[in-house]
Amino acid sequence: MNKSWLAIVLLLISARAMSQGGHFLNDDPHAPVNGAMNIAVSSMNAEEGNTYFAEAERNERKGELDEAVTLFGKAAFEYNSARQFVRYGSALMRLSNVHLQMSHYTEAEQVVLNVALKTYSKIGSKAGQMESYNQLGRIYLAASKYTQSMWFYTQQGILAKQLGSNTSYIESVLGIAHVKIKKKEYVMASRDLNRAELLARAANNGQFKIQIKDARALIAAETSGKKQS
C-alpha cells in the first residue's frame, strides 16, 4: 500500500471513530474520573498534530510532496484524536491539495468527499463546507470532469451568498468561468469574468486581478488560434 492510500485509510478510520465517539470531549458530565487524563492525552495529540502539520508544510514548500502527504495525514489523525475538528479540517484540505498538485485526483477527491465534507457537516461548519465545495470544483476541473466541477462551484456560490462571503462567491464565479473555458464556451466564460471583475471592484478586492487577466489571455489565445485554423 503506498503512502497516499495509507494516509486516506488512517483518515477513514479516524472519521469512523469520530462518528462513533461523538463530537466533543467529555460528553458525559457525570464521568469525571478519566476527564483529566482524557484532556492531557488530547492536548498531547494536538501538539503532535501541530508538529506534523508544520513538518508537512516545510516538505510541501521544498517540493517533497510524498512526505507532505504522509505528514498531513498524520496531523489530521492526531487532530481528530484530540477532537480538534477545525484543525482536523484544515489538515484534510491541505492533504487534498497536495494530492491535487501530484495529479492524484481520486485521492484528492476521496479525502474531501469521504472525510472533510462529512466532518464539516457534523460540526456545523458552513465555511468548511464552502471550502470543500471549492476544492472539489478544482479537483474535478483538473480531472476534466466538467459537469461535477460546475456543480460544486455552483454549490460554493450558493453557500457564499448565504454566508455573505464576497471573496468565496467571486471564487465560485471564476471557477465556473474556467469550466466554461475548458468546454470552449468562451462567450459565456467572458461574461462570468466580467461579472467577477465587477464584483471584485464593488468589494474593493484586488486579489483576483491576475486570475481574471490570465483567464482573458487564455480565451484570447484559444479564440485567436481557432480563427487562424
Q: What residues have CB less than 8 Å from 119, skipping those under 6 apart?
A: 15, 18, 85, 88, 89, 92, 128
Q: Assess whether pLDDT exceeds 70 at residue 18.
A: no
With 80 as the cut, is the pLDDT of residue 137 above it? yes
User: What average pLDDT does range 131-151 have in this prediction?
Assistant: 98
* 86 class by beta-carbon count within 10 Å (0-12 exposed, 13-18 middle, 19+ buried): middle
DSSP codes joined into one string, 60-106: HHTT-HHHHHHHHHHHHHHHHHTT-HHHHHHHHHHHHHHHHHTT-HH
Cα–Cα distance, 139 to 111 (Å, whole number): 11
Total residue length of the chain: 229
Q: How confident is the model at residue 44, as a pLDDT?
A: 82
Which tens digits make up the pLDDT trace of 67-124?
A: 999 999 999 999 999 999 999 999 999 999 999 999 999 999 999 999 999 999 999 9
User: In this predicted structure, what is the pLDDT of residue 34?
Assistant: 54
Average pLDDT over residues 155-181: 97
For residue 53, give the nearest of 13, 93, 2 by alpha carbon. 93
Enumerate domains of the chain plus CATH numbers.
1-18+38-124 (1.25.40)
